[in-house]
Amino acid sequence: MRALLHQQWTCYKLQLKVLSTSAFEGFLAVLFPLMFASAALLIYRVQDDPESMQYAGLGAAIMGMWTAQGVVAASMLSRERWAGTLELVVASPAGLGRVLVPATLAMSTIGLYCVVATIAWERWVFDLRLEISSWPLFVLSVLLTALTLALVGYFIAVTTTRYRYSGTLGAALEYPGWILCGFLIPVASLPAVLQPLSWAIPTTWGMAAIRSSADGGSPWGDLAACAATGAVYAVLAAWLGSRLVESARRHATLALT
């Protein structure tokens, strides 16, 4: 157990270092959602209603987490493959999950940074002060959202790796996540066919929990749903991951460039 934690911690630190030295992850991962958040806030601002500004401000703050995870996770294994390190990673005695989870946790950390940056931006540019009734519950909800999003990222990384242009695919996931997870659009107002998709993403529940803890409600039900859906992604990803490694060994697709 100690060895496992040590390995996870070391991998996490190194992956965070890799991410924060790259121009895209370091700069664009913050700027892109920040600009979209600004565009959304400019729309909400037209009506000048404090209640809807609080709604939009909370959602805009969490939006960046999705970008830091979805877009980057999808291309992670591909980047390893281009760099020629994927074979080395798979050949190491640690399981694929033990390598991928710290990496996606590192992405979630960048996502948390986005949350803080956006909240600061909202104060500074839009003069919008978020009302948070319970800070401990709010922070807990944000952290659990980040953690479960890392598990979604693990799932995305495993499923997209056979796709040649997975970076593109990751970028294409950005808007659907923003539409579905209830950041700026209430899930109930989406077309009925899309709503089940929203419920299948832990981030939707996480966002609901964040809103409840900010507005003085009880977040526990949403947090439980968030944790449960997150766990499903982890199990699915672990299973798919082992299948992936098997199939790659059979079809020699690891070194594919």
Partner 1 sequence: MTSLRIFVIGGLMSYRALFGWLKPGILIPTLVFTPICQILLFAYIGRSAGVGDDEFYVIGNALNYAAIPCLFAMSFTIEGERQGGTLGIVLTTPARRLPLFLGRALPVVVNGWAVAMIGVVGGALLLDVHIPGGAWPSIVLAVVVTSASCTGLGLAMGAVTLRVRQGSTIANVVFCVLLVFSGVNVAQSDLPGWMAAVGDWLPLTHGIQAARLLADGSGLGAVDGLLLRETGIGLLYTVAGLALLRFFEDESRRSASLDRV
Distance CA 166, CA 209 (A): 31
Question: CB of 256: closest distance to partner 1 in angstroms?
Answer: 14
Give the burial class of 190: count Cβ atoms within 10 A of its Cβ; 0-12 exposed, 13-18 middle, 19 or more buried: middle
Q: Least separation, in Å, of the C-beta of 50 and partner 1?
A: 13
Single residue of 14, 139, 172, 224 touching partner 1 by CB under 8 A: 172
How many residues at the interface with partner 1, by CB under 8 A? 35
CA distances in angstroms from 190 to 52, 174, 187, 194, listed in the order given: 17, 17, 5, 7
Contact 107, 153 (CB under 8 A): yes
Task: Using the minimum distance from each CB to partner 1, give the nearer residue, 9 or 175.
Answer: 175
Give the residue, chosen from 36, 121, 138, 154, that forms a contact with partner 1 under the rule CB under 8 A. 36
Hey, what are 46's tokens? 């037209």
* Residue 28: CB minimum distance to partner 1, A: 5
Q: Please report, to the nearest 10 degrees, the dihedral formed by the alpha carbons of residues 248, 160, 228, 36 taken in order.
A: 160
44 binds partner 1 (CB under 8 A): yes
**CA proximity to 105, closest of 145, 161, 172, 150:** 150
Say if residues 128 and 43 touch (Cβ distance below 8 Å).
no
Given 89, 112, 147, 171, the residue binding partner 1 (CB under 8 A):
171
Contact partners, residue 178, CB within 8 Å, separation at least 6:
36, 63, 66, 184
| Beta carbons within 10 angstroms of residue 169's beta carbon | 18
What minimum distance in Å lies between the beta carbon of 31 and partner 1? Answer: 6
Based on the shown chain and the rule CB under 8 A, indicate whether residue 56 belongs to the binding site for partner 1: yes
- Asked if 12 touches partner 1 (CB under 8 A), the answer is no
Q: Is 24 an interacting residue with respect to partner 1 (CB under 8 A)?
A: yes
Q: Which of 1, 2, 47, 93 lies at the binding interface for partner 1 (CB under 8 A)?
A: 47
Q: Does 175 bind partner 1 (CB under 8 A)?
A: yes
Q: Which residues bind partner 1 (CB under 8 A)?
A: 23-24, 27-28, 31-32, 35-36, 38-40, 42-44, 46-47, 52, 56, 163-165, 168-169, 171-172, 174-176, 178-179, 184-186, 189-190
